[in-house]
Amino acid sequence: MANNPLVPSLKDEVRLKLRNAIISNELKPGERIVETEVAKNFGISQVPVREALRGLEEEGLVTSVKYKGAFVAEIDSSEIFHMFLLRAEIEANVVGLVMPSLTRRHFGELYDIVEQMKKYSDEPEHYAALSALDVEFHRTVIEWGQIAVYNRIWHMLDGHIRRFIAILHPQTILDGRAAYRTHTKLIEAMERRDADKAKAEFKDHILWAFSPSGPFASSGLLQALPKRKTPTRPADLWHECRSGPVKY
């Protein structure tokens, strides 16, 4: 009997569960993932577990050490800014591409998500729900583009970014009231049909954490980025990335 492509395979099930546990910080950086224990918990053989771990390693969430096994990957702070930057570029590109074909139905989808955000605007303890809605909002826009390579890369980047936020700055990044306001502003920018301004709004929104008023500018995080040929302050790096590719 042929496999139903709509039914996730065992390796996909295991990969999704482990991926979610890593992103939510249930499985912490450096923690060992024991194949036999995972297989026992799922009631399956080690083969699909091994395949799932291989997929997570390709995504950069797991590292494999010879003779020692698989471990949750450490956070690489030198890559974080560039993950945010690449995600911003992808979303801005998609916004520019889909702008001419957007209808009231499309905007209605986003407003429905934003209205759900509003419910949690005064309840900071609902970070997980806000995070899920934030992902749904941006993933919806990405899927409108129907560009497979963007979907794949965005999915990978989103996992790393959400993991980083969950570990280091969950409350700072996602404030309920701010989430409602900023996402409403993104919809309004698209409704105005000015592609350049809408793209700029998306970039500013995604890269806000690195702006002069954002939480990372004074945290010392950007000091861990690779050395550039000429010294650059965090605020300068943010301003530069808004106007074009970062130069090294």
- Chunked into runs of 10 residues, the chain (248 residues) has average pLDDT values of 57 94 93 95 94 95 93 86 93 96 96 90 71 92 96 94 77 68 95 95 89 66 44 48 45
Amino acid at 148: A
pLDDT of residue 245: 44
Tell how far CA 63 is from the center of its chain. Answer: 19
3-state secondary structure labels for all residues of 32-97: EECHHHHHHHHCCCHHHHHHHHHHHHHHCCEEEECCCEEEECCCCHHHHHHHHHHHHHHHHHHHHH
pLDDT of residue 240: 52
pLDDT of residue 226: 42
Structural domains of the chain, with CATH: 10-72 (1.10.10.10), 77-243 (1.20.120.530)
Per the DSSP assignment, residues forming a β-bridge with 72 are 62
- For residue 154, give the DSSP letter: H
Amino acid at 124: P
Q: Residue 56 and residue 62: Cα distance in Å, rounded?
A: 6
pLDDT of residue 127: 73
pLDDT of residue 234: 46
pLDDT of residue 220: 56
Q: Residue 73 and residue 221: Cα distance in Å, rounded?
A: 18
| R_g of the chain computed on alpha carbons | 20
pLDDT of residue 31: 96
pLDDT of residue 103: 96
Computed from CA positions of residues 29, 30, 31, 33, in that sequence, does the dihedral angle turn out positive or negative? positive
* Sheet bearing 62-65, strands edge to edge: 32-33, 69-72, 62-65
Strands 32-33 and 69-72: antiparallel
